[in-house]
């Protein structure tokens, strides 16, 4: 059957109120139109749905069975409308974020702290992933927003906005402390065990190109899964590494020392990535607004 939804809507309100008059008031329609609509529905279904009396109307047996299904459908519709309204008012919803460890620490955590205070009922899902993983998940529709570190190749499906730049420094532990007393070249650094992020990360790619530019091969002895593992590995004298200067300043310990380099390490940047053409939910849009309006420098 191809019966109009409006016919079922009229039936629902008449059955709910037990009155054509009250149903007409609720729907802002006149009573004769409601009566004609119910008659059309009864003809289309081939049965009587209401029995009229001086006290209003009551459902027939067929009407009772139909109302059981129709009322459940309208309850679901109302629940959906309420959920969307709550989402729009930021009283309910979910934001799905992909972020590298560096982007999370330097940019995202302070913003999420503010966001959580303002919108405590919004759920936040964070995937702590590498830049290539975040971009892939974004293209597959698994994320609303991605916060990643350069370098990377940006697909045409995605758009980017730079949030802040940062520079990294070379560091060592107590066993290599003598390295912090002099200025070293990258070629001299390669004489010591190197600690780096894994091969499929933007950090690994960055240092591979940097070392190659200076005629050296970047060949780490230890590959860490996340950026926050680097300093503990250095602190325990497993090698020398490169970390964001802000990491070193925030977590500086007596057992970790800065190494001065002859070569200048270029700036990298943290960027917000979105999928072109995708409409963000109100919670995701609000997070984007808070991020883009923050001065991180």
Phi, psi (rounded to 5 degrees) for 169: -130, 160
Parallel, antiparallel, or unpaired: how do β-strands 241-244 and 183-184 relate?
unpaired
pLDDT digits (tens, 9 = 90+) for 8-55: 888 888 898 888 888 888 888 888 888 899 898 889 988 999 998 877
Percentage of residues of the chain with pLDDT beyond 90: 56
Higher-confidence residue of 250 and 179: namely: 179
Do 258 and 138 belong together in one domain? no
In a domain, 297, yes or no: no
For residue 142, the enclosing domain spans: 93-165+269-292
Do 194 and 261 belong together in one domain? yes
Do 106 and 187 belong together in one domain? no
Q: Which of 232, 212, 234 is nearest to 221 (CA)?
A: 234
Q: Which of 162, 153, 135, 152 is nearest to 276 (CA)?
A: 135
In a domain, 285, yes or no: yes
Instruction: Please report which confidence band the pLDDT of residue 200 belongs to, taking 50, 70 and 90 as the band edges.
Output: confident
Do 281 and 150 belong together in one domain? yes
In a domain, 174, yes or no: yes
Please say whether the beta carbons of 202 and 152 come within 8 A. yes
Query: What pTM does this model have?
Result: 0.70
Do 173 and 260 belong together in one domain? yes
Q: Which H helix or E strand runs over 197?
A: strand 195-197
In a domain, 247, yes or no: yes
Do 257 and 285 belong together in one domain? no
Compute the distance between CA of residue 134 and CA of residue 148 in angstroms, rounded to an integer. Answer: 7
Do 84 and 64 belong together in one domain? yes
User: What integer is the mean pLDDT of 230-247?
Assistant: 92
Q: Which of 260, 255, 228 is nearest to 244 (CA)?
A: 228
For residue 151, whether the previous peptide bond is cis, meaning omega lies within 30 degrees of 0, is yes
- Domain end among 88, 106, 136: 88
Q: What is the CATH number of the domain that holds 203?
A: 3.40.190.10
Q: Which of 163, 122, 116, 125 is nearest to 143 (CA)?
A: 125
Based on the structure, what is the number of domains in the chain? Answer: 3
Do 161 and 124 belong together in one domain? yes
Do 78 and 99 belong together in one domain? no
The number of C-alpha atoms within 13 Å of 5 and in the hemisphere containing its C-beta is 3
- Domain end among 62, 88, 114: 88
Q: Which H helix or E strand runs over 240?
A: none
234: pLDDT strictly greater than 70: yes
Q: Which H helix or E strand runs over 95?
A: strand 93-99
Higher-confidence residue of 4 and 237: namely: 237
Q: Which of 248, 270, 236 is nearest to 150 (CA)?
A: 270
Do 120 and 255 belong together in one domain? no
Please say whether the beta carbons of 19 and 57 come within 8 A. yes
In a domain, 30, yes or no: yes
Do 158 and 205 belong together in one domain? no
201: pLDDT strictly greater than 80: yes
pLDDT at site 124: 94
Do 148 and 220 belong together in one domain? no
Q: What is the CATH number of the domain that holds 17?
A: 1.10.10.10
User: What integer is the mean pLDDT of 161-189?
Assistant: 93
């Amino acid at each position: 059957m191809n019966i109009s939804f409006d016919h079922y809507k009229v039936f629902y309100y008449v059955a709910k109120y037990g009155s054509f008059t009250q149903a007409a008031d609720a729907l802002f329609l006149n009573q004769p139109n409601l009566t004609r609509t119910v008659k059309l529905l009864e003809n289309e279904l081939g049965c009587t749905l209401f029995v009229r009396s001086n006290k209003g109307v009551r459902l027939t047996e067929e009407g009772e069975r139909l109302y059981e299904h129709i009322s459940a459908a309208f309850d679901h519709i109302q629940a959906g409308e309420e959920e969307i309204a709550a989402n729009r008012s930021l009283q309910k919803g979910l934001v799905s974020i992909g972020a590298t460890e560096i982007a999370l620490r330097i940019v995202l955590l302070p913003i999420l702290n503010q966001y959580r205070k303002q919108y405590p009922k919004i759920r936040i899902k964070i995937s702590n992933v590498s830049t290539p993983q975040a971009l892939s998940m974004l293209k597959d529709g698994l994320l609303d927003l991605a916060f990643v570190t350069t370098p990377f190749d940006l697909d045409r499906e995605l758009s980017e906005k730079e949030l802040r730049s940062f520079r990294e420094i070379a560091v060592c532990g107590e066993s290599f402390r003598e390295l912090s007393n002099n200025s070293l070249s990258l070629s001299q650094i390669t004489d010591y065990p190197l600690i780096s992020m894994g091969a499929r990360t933007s950090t690994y790619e960055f240092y591979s190109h940097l070392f190659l530019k200076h005629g050296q091969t970047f060949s780490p002895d230890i590959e860490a899964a996340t950026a926050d593992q680097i300093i503990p590995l250095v602190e325990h004298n497993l090698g020398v590494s490169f970390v964001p200067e802000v990491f070193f300043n925030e977590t500086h310990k007596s057992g970790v020392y800065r190494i001065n380099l002859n070569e200048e390490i270029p700036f990298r940047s943290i960027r917000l990535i979105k999928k072109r053409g995708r409409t963000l939910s109100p919670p995701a849009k609000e997070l984007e607004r808070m991020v883009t309006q923050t001065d991180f420098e």
